[in-house]
């Protein structure tokens, strides 16, 4: 029952996040890979879990009698609890704005930060730092599926496209193929 109290709200948060991103993944070809990312995250989690289990078996004879998991200190516990409560309360205004504009990218990032942050805090509070180290990367990997805010995405994409075009024109010149760059076009 204890696990259901923790897992059901986290599962709902992840459902809300994936449901919110679903439209972007379905309509924007640049982010269509987003459908695969949850499965990649699960695969990474399973791989980390198996690697941790193999390490635990190898160290079991060395640590006989010692507790393999270190619980957070009191100050760490307060900090993690504060972060957890802050992110939980932050979900309400995020949800209200999401209802009005679900496709707004900063809201998608806020939902992602809240879902991943609350999951990481819950894991750290319930299972300790060892588990947190095991699952931090696979959970944070989900950020690659969340579309960047347009104010960040456009300048980065435009400048990278210009650099790509300039390098291509230069390489074509080295091979004796005449080419000219006009903005992002060759």
Confidence of residue 68 (pLDDT cuts 50, 70, 90): very low
Q: At 168, list the tokens.
A: 């291509």
Q: At 60, list the tokens.
A: 């079991």
Distance of alpha carbon 37 from alpha carbon 84, whole angstroms: 25
Residues 114-143: tens digit of each pLDDT: 999 999 988 888 888 888 888 999 999 999
Residues 6+ apart with CB under 8 A from 37: 141, 142, 144, 145
State if pTM tops 0.75.
no
Per the CB < 8 A criterion, the answer to whether 70 and 129 are in contact is: yes
Domain boundaries in the chain?
2-58+71-147, 148-186
pLDDT at 55 over 80: no
pLDDT at 66 over 70: no
Residues 6+ apart with CB under 8 A from 145: 21, 25, 31, 33, 34, 37, 38
């Amino acid at each position: 029952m204890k696990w259901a109290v923790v897992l059901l709200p986290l599962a709902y948060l992840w459902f809300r996040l994936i449901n919110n991103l679903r439209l972007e993944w379905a309509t924007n070809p640049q982010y269509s890979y987003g459908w695969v990312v949850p499965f990649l995250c699960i695969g990474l989690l399973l791989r980390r879990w198996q690697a941790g289990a193999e390490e635990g078996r190898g160290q079991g004879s060395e640590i006989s009698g010692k507790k393999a998991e270190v619980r957070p200190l009191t100050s760490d516990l307060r900090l993690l609890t504060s972060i957890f409560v802050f992110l939980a309360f932050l979900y309400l205004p995020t949800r209200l704005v999401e209802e009005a504009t679900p496709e707004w990218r900063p809201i998608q990032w806020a939902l992602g930060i809240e879902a991943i942050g609350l999951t990481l805090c819950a894991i750290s509070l319930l299972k300790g730092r060892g588990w947190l180290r095991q699952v931090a990367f696979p959970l944070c990997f989900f950020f690659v599926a969340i579309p960047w805010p347009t104010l960040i995405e456009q300048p980065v994409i435009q400048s990278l496209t210009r650099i790509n075009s300039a390098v291509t024109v230069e390489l074509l010149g080295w091979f004796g193929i005449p080419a000219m760059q006009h903005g992002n076009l060759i």
